Structure 1
Amino acid sequence: MTMKQDGDAASVPACFISNHEGFLGNIKKFIRDFVVTEIDADGRQVTTGAATHAPRSTDKSGGRRDRNRQGSEEGDFAADCRFDLTVSSPDGLDLSMVLGQGVSEQLEQFVVSLRDEAEEGEESGRKELSLGSFTDKYQRANVHRAVRHRFPFLMTVTIQPEIRVREDPDYRELSQLVTEEEAEDFFRFMDAKVQDSSYTFHPDDNKEHRTAVHHFLNRRFGKLVETKSFNQQERTAISVRLRERGRPKKRSAEERREEDVYTAFTLCKENLETLEAISYMAATLGVLPSDFTYAGIKDKRALTYQSMVVKKVSPQRLMEKRGELEKRGMRLSHIRPAAEPLKLGRLRGNHFDLVVRDLKSHGGGEVHSGAETRRRLAGLVEEALQNVQVRGFVNYYGPQRFGTGQSVRSDLVGLALLKEDMVNAVRLFFSPEDGDDPPSQAKRHFLQTDNAKESLALMPASKARERLMLRALNRYGTGPEGCAKAWLSLPHGMRVFYPHAYCSRVWNEAVAHRLATLGHQVRTGDLVWTQQEAEQTDDCEAARIHVVTQAEERRGAYALAQVLLPMPGNTVRYPENAMGAWYRERLATDGLDNCRFRVGGLKLNLPGCYRPLLANLCNLSYRLQTCEEGAGGNGGGNSKGHFKATTGDAERHESLTLTLNFDLDSSCYATICLREIMKCDL
């Protein structure tokens, strides 16, 4: 990657904290030039299990600065602390991967026919569809769960080895009492089998109607659930809770053992998105994507190592599939039993091993001898690294947060969703790239024809998000209601990514405006972490945000590293100085002056969070060396400030390469750190 001038670069303002000159160079010239290794919650790199220094930096006042534990790294669409996130759900599995394209389309048509009959008041009777024969029990379990989650109004029946599907009569009866959406959500709740969980129907002021719902639930599910009415915002609603040890379906001892199995492993992937890798693994192992848990999402264009846990798969079975997965660009190691799933954000940070090739000065016009050029560049590199090591870097969200394509702008999609303009959000989502690759052809066809079915046939199987959206658009139509259903077809974590992208862009613009107008000093009205709070708690929810007073500004009570800026949301406090007015004006410019940062129809809630203005790198080491142009060596080593020059005369096509090794807290971007070091967009 060289210096950019397109929309990617524009998503990160050109505002820096240090004033060194910097230099130019190429990153990610080769995949192995960018290696990301997760550091777990115990401070260990997941590749070796060896302890590493925790990437926790301390500001001049002693306050800890690892405040964004709920996020992850490069390419992360997991949010920062206080965002309402869930891991990927069974919706993330394209049924065509399990059933095959032909059977999947037959199932869609079967569902449409049931809907038509229901609208016309006809009884479906025992109308059935065969999904085919599945000799592998893992495949059968996968089909049952995937179909029931996608279409909760269907029953799946095994007549070994065949699986048949028909309408669930209980669903039809319940849908006469409540909305179809509530009935579907209730059946998903029942199928999830989550102990101590509950489901609440919409408020209902009609006592007779509530009584009818109670009677139905107790008659059909009384052994499994208990129901009660309660007041909710001066209205009455029905809540349903699973009874202790209640199960919607009796399971065998073998099934119970399989359900309780967790297997941990280290995933090494190359040129793959984390969710794409999970889709491949789920299809290979016969489980759902939601059975995989992880601490954070890693960059696609990199070699990455991260911890994962999979449910319902034994270590032995996972080892048997390693060879098959390796053909897909995934290597699994450190396979072992685990006691529980991983939680999103349960990581200390990430370790980076980076190579920057073809170093040049920003001037580019000077004519020097080879030795003089190397000496000058060595001085620029050393000055830049010392500055950033001491002062840190502006904690921008990286361009990955906003979509790195030429046309797709995730923040604009998020803005449309926050304004509840579902149709425009869908059309922005399907913005094609400038090229003529298959995904762009499919997107272009949809925008030109509005034909979701034909576009689905053109969309590659690897594009899970796009295919899920097109399937829903084909089923529900491309109007406002159909587009809302299409967004609901995506797992919650994918849906919420887009509004988060918009809020991230606003945060980036806010920090640039803050530095440009209020300078590099702490000002009255700024929000800060206090030293006492930072040492006592790691919980963003529990931290009390302090507003800097005039007296504190005069005596320099706080350092710039303690200053926070809020991500827009419905629970955050905004600065009590000129920045507070800036936030209000910025949101009003986009038509969000009355935004509550909730999209009820999509089940999205953005409380917001506080992000430190600055970030620090830790455990820095580097090596600067010469190599012949086109050589593939990565350099390496851990020598502090090591400069390696070739002996004898400089060769004609010699270039300088910088190898960097450092740690960052979670939710900090290595590309942004490099940007501050090099003073160019990457």
Structure 2
Amino acid sequence: MKQDCDAVNVPACFISSHEGFRGSIKNFIKDFVVTEIDVNGQLVNKAAAPQTSGCASSDKNNETSARCKQNNHSSVSPDTDASAYWGVDVALPSPGSFDLGVILGQSVSDELEQFVLTLKDEKPTKQELSLGSFADKHHRANVHRAVRHRFPFLMTVTIQPEIRVREDPDYRELSQLVTEDEAEDFFRFIDAKVRGSSYTFGPDDSKEHRAAVHHFLSRRFGKLVETKSFSDQGRTAISVRLRERGRPKKRSAEERKEEDVYTAFTLRKENLETLEAISYMAATLGVLPSDFTYAGIKDKRAITYQSMVVKKVSPQRLKEKTAEFEKRGMRLSHVRSVHEPLRLGQLQGNHFDLVVRDLRPHGANDAHSSGADRNTRLVALVKEAVENIKATGFVNYYGPQRFGSGQSVQSDRVGLALLKEDMVSAVRLFFTPEEGDDPQSQAKRHFLQTDNAKESLALMPLSKARERLMLRALNRYGTGPNGCAQAWLSLPHSMRVFYPHAYCSRVWNEAVAHRLATLGHSARRGDLVWMQEGQNKLEDSGESSSAQIHVVTEQEEKEGLYTLGHVLLPMPGNTVKYPENAMGAWYQERLARDGLDNCRFRVSSLKLNLPGCYRPLLALPRNLSYQLQRTACKDEGAGGGEVSGESKQDLLTLTLNFDLDSSCYATICLREIMKCDP
């Protein structure tokens, strides 16, 4: 087992023994192209679907069809056990579910924040703020919904096409009777009008005070709700239930038809995060980001093609916005009507077209040999490396991007703090700055030094949406344990769960390295394997939590019934089975070392639930092909001395084309090929 070139949180273990070579990737955006493979094995930018948008991409991708088995990919859903203490209430979305910076534009959103701060400090006022004019009715509806959810104490009024906001006098009166948090949550409950829902205030032992609350609710909302006091464990609280006639009116056939519209399309983006692209499209179309579904997240520093489905938007309406999307580096194709949304993991994998430039040997002696000799040597190294990977695959590590590579504090450390429910430490780790004086680092440093979220928010660049959401919540709720918990809740669930997943991924990577170092390269007694008849486990390299798991017996080890390619290792979680050999004890010791020996892998306060999954130890690229080309470049000489001989030398460039199953990393495959971090 060769060990070399350790990347952050990726142990330096390789499965093959070839020498490898050096090179650089992502010199240009076109050097890294990722194309999703749908459940039918088709590249999504080549799928046989009618193209109605007129926005076909001119990029030339490898058209080799992908033939692979469908993954049983595991997605994590919020913890459904997190109910209120008093009564069974319908959970409300977090305030961070609506990004006003995207919906209104950042300048108007900031102006609204300032308007809210003035209301908090003043007596009742009839002061109003204009949010601007919105010609699209869908956009107007989205603005009303988002503003009232984020700021329940505001009233939104439309004077077409303008929307204005002012303080809701009922909110101010209720907040004198109950806490501000309860008043806000009650108004969200009223605004949502969820069928069959109820809201319960905290315990109140004063009969006179409860009577005042009952009287206010009856006077102001009696047509919508009915209230009652109830006792639980010796304490009394007020429960509020929507009346039958307070439920939403029955939707018309036209409204139901609009709700059920789903439009699928292929998104081509470059130098954009998937969630960033969705936020922009949602604001442009006047829908919520949650109305978009996708099969997987794609790289930012790349040209990527992926399938998406948007709800409540017709193909024709989507086509009308394509010109605006193109201004932001997004192109849409294969626009068509479908009957349902996409699910995470609903894909067979991804196809990669990669370019590795400036190839050179690892050895110093080879680097100083003549151009012809060096290129001959490199050609042999590349051929040996590619053939080895075709035959044996690579160690299926999670890549550095899983941990937020380049950050001073890795995401797995934030995830560990969240799993230990240390919200304050998690926030402070999240705001650990990079070295240097860029605006983002300055804002983070200011927060850690002063604990002043408001001033730090003013310093934070507008493009840093995640940090700004956290700082707004910290400014509103404070920087104590409860305020920090609210800050995490201000992030969408997919962002919150990323950090505990990063921690579990780090443990998995370390488990693989320990397994290979101590138990070798064959399947051993107590290892876990899949039991699915006719399945080639080496090719099914995605994550799964639903497959039947079999424990390798001593007899099966002797007979060599399973190979290393069949072996699975569990991602820590609350439903997984651990190996029944030395690796089982290793997991227990590893988690105990981080203080997680009794961890349930649930954080109810943040609605996080990590069931865990099983991930194959090895991954195998499919349809792997390569091409070497010579590129002339100026030779700058070695050591700054005078260059003798020719003024130019030929450098080799490697083009690689291959398919990987979902959740496998092309950078890790490259790492095994090159025997260093690319």
Counterparts of 1:333 and 1:85, CA distance in 2 = 36
Q: What's 1:431 paired with?
A: 432
8 A contact 1:622–1:661 mirrored in 2: yes
Q: What's 2:563 paired with?
A: 559
Equivalences for 1:342-491 in 2 at 5 Å? 342-366=342-366, 367-491=368-492
Q: What's 2:606 paired with?
A: 602
SS at the partner of 2:497?
helix
Assess, with a 3 A threshold, how the Cα gap between structure 1 residues 519 and 178 changes in structure 2: closer, same or farther.
farther
Assess, with a 3 A threshold, how the Cα gap between structure 1 residues 486 and 259 changes in structure 2: closer, same or farther.
same
1:308-339 deviations in whole A, cap 9, x for unaligned?
Answer: 12223333332232222222221222223333
Structure 2 residue 593 is the aligned partner of structure 1 residue 589: yes
Structure 2 residue 142 is the aligned partner of structure 1 residue 142: yes
Q: What's 1:61 paired with?
A: none
Structure 2 residue 248 is the aligned partner of structure 1 residue 248: yes
Q: What's 2:20 paired with?
A: 22
* Code of the aligned partner of 2:109: S
8 A contact 1:203–1:238 mirrored in 2: no
Q: What's 1:635 paired with?
A: none
Q: What's 2:658 paired with?
A: 662
Q: 1:580 aligns with which of 578, 584, 588?
A: 584
Deviation at 1:114, TM superposition (A): 6.9
* RMSD over aligned Cα atoms: 4.3
Assess, with a 3 A threshold, how the Cα gap between structure 1 residues 542 and 308 changes in structure 2: closer, same or farther.
closer
Q: What's 1:515 paired with?
A: 516
Counterparts of 1:385 and 1:655, CA distance in 2 = 19
Deviation at 1:578, TM superposition (A): 1.0
Q: What's 2:553 paired with?
A: 549
* Code of the aligned partner of 2:307: S
Assess, with a 3 A threshold, how the Cα gap between structure 1 residues 205 and 150 changes in structure 2: closer, same or farther.
closer
SS at the partner of 2:515?
helix
Counterparts of 2:9 and 2:535, CA distance in 1 = 30
8 A contact 1:418–1:597 mirrored in 2: yes
Counterparts of 1:30 and 1:90, CA distance in 2 = 39
Deviation at 1:493, TM superposition (A): 0.6
Counterparts of 2:533 and 2:182, CA distance in 1 = 46
SS at the partner of 1:531?
coil
Counterparts of 1:20 and 1:202, CA distance in 2 = 66
Deviation at 1:406, TM superposition (A): 3.8
Counterparts of 2:365 and 2:243, CA distance in 1 = 73
Q: What's 1:681 paired with?
A: 677
Q: What's 1:672 paired with?
A: 668
1:388-445 deviations in whole A, cap 9, x for unaligned?
Answer: 1111111100000000224141111111111111122111111222233222222222
Structure 2 residue 316 is the aligned partner of structure 1 residue 316: yes
Q: What's 1:530 paired with?
A: 531
Q: Unaligned 5+ residue runs, structure 2? A: 49-62, 81-92, 636-644
Q: 2:96 aligns with which of 87, 91, 94?
A: 91
* Code of the aligned partner of 1:495: R
Structure 1 stretch displaced more, 322-331 or 654-663:
322-331
Q: What's 2:639 paired with?
A: none
Counterparts of 1:250 and 1:464, CA distance in 2 = 37
Assess, with a 3 A threshold, how the Cα gap between structure 1 residues 102 and 628 changes in structure 2: closer, same or farther.
closer
8 A contact 2:4–2:675 mirrored in 1: no
Assess, with a 3 A threshold, how the Cα gap between structure 1 residues 680 and 224 changes in structure 2: closer, same or farther.
farther
Assess, with a 3 A threshold, how the Cα gap between structure 1 residues 221 and 512 changes in structure 2: closer, same or farther.
farther
* Code of the aligned partner of 2:462: A
Counterparts of 2:227 and 2:501, CA distance in 1 = 37
1:222-275 deviations in whole A, cap 9, x for unaligned?
Answer: 999999x9x9xxxx99998999x9963676776555433332221111111111
Deviation at 1:368, TM superposition (A): 3.5
* Code of the aligned partner of 1:364: A
Equivalences for 1:8-407 in 2 at 5 Å? 9-49=7-47, 53-54=65-66, 56=68, 67=71, 69-70=73-74, 81=75, 91=96, 93-99=98-104, 103-105=108-110, 107-108=112-113, 129-136=128-135, 137-152=137-152, 154-165=154-165, 248=248, 256-366=256-366, 367-407=368-408
1:276-325 deviations in whole A, cap 9, x for unaligned?
Answer: 11222222233222222211110011111111122233333322322222
Assess, with a 3 A threshold, how the Cα gap between structure 1 residues 677 and 256 changes in structure 2: closer, same or farther.
same
* Code of the aligned partner of 1:94: D
8 A contact 1:350–1:663 mirrored in 2: yes
Assess, with a 3 A threshold, how the Cα gap between structure 1 residues 438 and 116 changes in structure 2: closer, same or farther.
closer
Assess, with a 3 A threshold, how the Cα gap between structure 1 residues 102 and 664 changes in structure 2: closer, same or farther.
closer
Structure 1 stretch displaced more, 344-353 or 101-110:
101-110
8 A contact 1:414–1:501 mirrored in 2: yes
Deviation at 1:523, TM superposition (A): 1.3
Counterparts of 1:530 and 1:194, CA distance in 2 = 44
* Code of the aligned partner of 1:293: T
SS at the partner of 2:323?
helix
Deviation at 1:571, TM superposition (A): 1.5
* Code of the aligned partner of 1:389: K
* Code of the aligned partner of 2:556: E
Counterparts of 2:246 and 2:339, CA distance in 1 = 22
8 A contact 2:227–2:239 mirrored in 1: no
Counterparts of 2:511 and 2:594, CA distance in 1 = 14
SS at the partner of 2:365?
coil
Assess, with a 3 A threshold, how the Cα gap between structure 1 residues 524 and 83 changes in structure 2: closer, same or farther.
farther
8 A contact 2:95–2:490 mirrored in 1: no
Assess, with a 3 A threshold, how the Cα gap between structure 1 residues 501 and 594 changes in structure 2: closer, same or farther.
same
SS at the partner of 2:268?
strand
8 A contact 1:18–1:387 mirrored in 2: yes
Identity rate, percent: 70
Deviation at 1:502, TM superposition (A): 0.6
Counterparts of 2:524 and 2:260, CA distance in 1 = 54
Assess, with a 3 A threshold, how the Cα gap between structure 1 residues 542 and 505 changes in structure 2: closer, same or farther.
closer
Q: TM-score with structure 1 length normalisation?
A: 0.81
Counterparts of 1:34 and 1:557, CA distance in 2 = 39
* Code of the aligned partner of 1:31: I
Counterparts of 1:193 and 1:134, CA distance in 2 = 27
Deviation at 1:83, TM superposition (A): 6.1
Assess, with a 3 A threshold, how the Cα gap between structure 1 residues 343 and 188 changes in structure 2: closer, same or farther.
farther
Counterparts of 2:536 and 2:183, CA distance in 1 = 47
Q: 1:625 aligns with which of 625, 629, 639?
A: 629
Q: TM-score with structure 2 length normalisation?
A: 0.81
